[in-house]
Structure 1
C-alpha cells in the first residue's frame, strides 16, 4: 500500500514513521527558482505544491524538460505524498553532479518510503549515513534507527 503523507491513510505506522523523518528544505541548494520561475517560486513559498506542480507540467509541455524542472516536479510530488511519481523525476537527475545532490539523495529516500519501497530506502539512507560529509547524515542515521 502506498502512503500519502498528511492524509487519512490506511497505513498509520508508515505515516507515523514519515512524520518522524520528514525533513525538507526549500529551495534546493544552489537553485535560484525566483529568477527562472518566479510564479512557481511564490507558489512553493506558500506551500501550494499542487498549483506549482501543475504550472511545472505546463512548462514541461512547452519546453524540453531539464534537471531543474525534474527537481521541482519531484519536490512538489514528494510534498503531496506522491512518492512513486516523485521517484520518476528524481531518477531523471540522480546521476548528475548538481549542487543540490545531497538534498535529492535525502528526498529520494523519503520518496522511496512513500512508495512503500523500504529495502531501497534503507539502502539510500545507509549510503547517506556512511558519508561523513553528507549534510543529511544525521537524518539518515535517525531513519536507519527507526527502520531497523
Structure 2
C-alpha cells in the first residue's frame, strides 16, 4: 500500500503559498482523509505553540530539559563528562526542529499574516442537521445541498442553498452552509453577506457560528477594523468561540 507524504503540502497550506488549484485540491483531501486532517491539526498546534513563545523561552525549555537529563545521568553515571553531552542534546533538539521545519518557521514567521492566522483557525462547519428523511420540497432542496456540501462539492451546493433562501430567507441553516461554501471557494465577500443575514436576526440557533465565520472572513480579507470588532463581540458574548477569538485578537491588535 502506498502512503502519500503530505508534509510539503501542509507546509505550503499553512504558509499560504498554495496556488488556488492546489489549495482547492488540498481542502477536498482534508474532507475525505481523516489521517491528513489529524496531521494538519498536529502541525497547526505545534506552530501555534511556537508562535506563543519567544527565543528566550525556547532557550529556557532546552536548558531545563538538559538540566533534568544531566541530573539523571549524574545519578546513573557519576563519571560521565557534562560539556559534550549538553552540546549534543541541544544540537539533537535543534536538528529535530529543523527536520520538521518548525525552527525555520519560528525564525522567519514571527509576524504572522492574516492569511496564516485564518488557515490556523478556519475549519468547515460539520453538518449537524438531520434532514435525510425530509419529504417537503424545501427540505429536500436543503438535504440535497447538504449532501453536496459534505462531499466537498461547494460550487454545486450553493445554488441549492440559494433556492432554499428564495423560498425562506430566514432559513439560517441554508445561510450558514452557503456562507461556508463561499469561504471554501474563497469568495469571502459573499460569505460575509450570508453570515450577516443570520446576525441580523437576534437569538437564533446559528448566531455564534455566523459571528465566528464572519470574523474569519474579515480577517482573511485584511479588514482589520471589522475583524477586531467582530472578535471582540465574540469575546463579550462569552460563548463557544471565545478562546479562539481572544487568541486571534492577541495576535492582530
Scaled to the shorter chain, the TM-score interval is 0.7 to 0.9
TM-superposed deviation, 1:60: 4.6
* Residue correspondence of structure 1 range 1-148 to structure 2 within 5 A: 8=19, 13-27=113-127, 31-34=129-132, 35=134, 36=139, 37-60=142-165, 63-68=167-172, 69-96=174-201, 97-132=203-238, 134-148=239-253
TM-superposed deviation, 1:130: 2.7
Q: Show structure 2 runs of 5+ residues with no match.
A: 1-15, 21-111
TM-score, structure 2 as length reference: 0.48
Q: Show structure 1 runs of 5+ residues with no match.
A: none
> How many aligned residue pairs are there?
138
Structure 1 residues 82 and 39, CA gap change in structure 2 (3 angstroms): same
TM-superposed deviation, 1:107: 0.7
- Whole-angstrom CA distance in 1 between matches of 2:18 and 2:170: 31
- Segment drifting more, 92-101 vs 49-58: 49-58
Structure 1 residues 115 and 67, CA gap change in structure 2 (3 angstroms): farther
3-state SS, counterpart of residue 113 of structure 2: helix
Structure whose residues are more often helix by fraction: 2
Structure 1 residues 117 and 40, CA gap change in structure 2 (3 angstroms): same
- Whole-angstrom CA distance in 1 between matches of 2:199 and 2:230: 12
- Whole-angstrom CA distance in 1 between matches of 2:17 and 2:152: 13
Give me the CA root mean square deviation. Answer: 2.6
- Whole-angstrom CA distance in 1 between matches of 2:17 and 2:187: 11
Q: Which has the larger radius of gyration?
A: 2
